[in-house]
Amino acid sequence: MTEYENILDELDQDKRIEITLTYAYGEDEMQTAFCCYLEDYIKFPFEAKIRKDRKSKKFRVLRFTSIVPHRVVCEIEFEGGIKSRMPLTEIEPLDRESSNNIVINDYLKFINEDYE
């Protein structure tokens, strides 16, 4: 992706996004670059809840089931072994200080803003 040893050492979110997109030209390449960023830096499994749902039950995020531009989906497991799928945009890691939280928030900013 870049010559950076670990992009997560960069504390500024905009700079991390800029680094991720360094060699990406056009929307398709930028989406692909972000998919690579997600694959490289999200560590599974991790505990999470549904984003912006204060009553959400916690669950474990097990893996990506689909990681393509515009649609990143994860396999999740609720207590009792019930498995389902959920878009990454709906997942909030319970550990707010984790690298997963940083990477997911970078992804959310990327998809919600217009980068060129």
Q: For 66-84, write each residue's pLDDT tens digit.
A: 988 778 999 999 999 999 9
Q: For 13-61, write each residue's pLDDT tens digit.
A: 999 999 999 999 998 899 999 999 999 999 999 999 999 999 999 999 9
AA letter at 12:
D
What pTM did the predictor assign?
Answer: 0.90
Contact 62, 78 (CB under 8 A): no
Angle between helices 27-41 and 99-112 in degrees, nearest 10: 170
Cα of 32 vs its chain's centroid, Å: 13
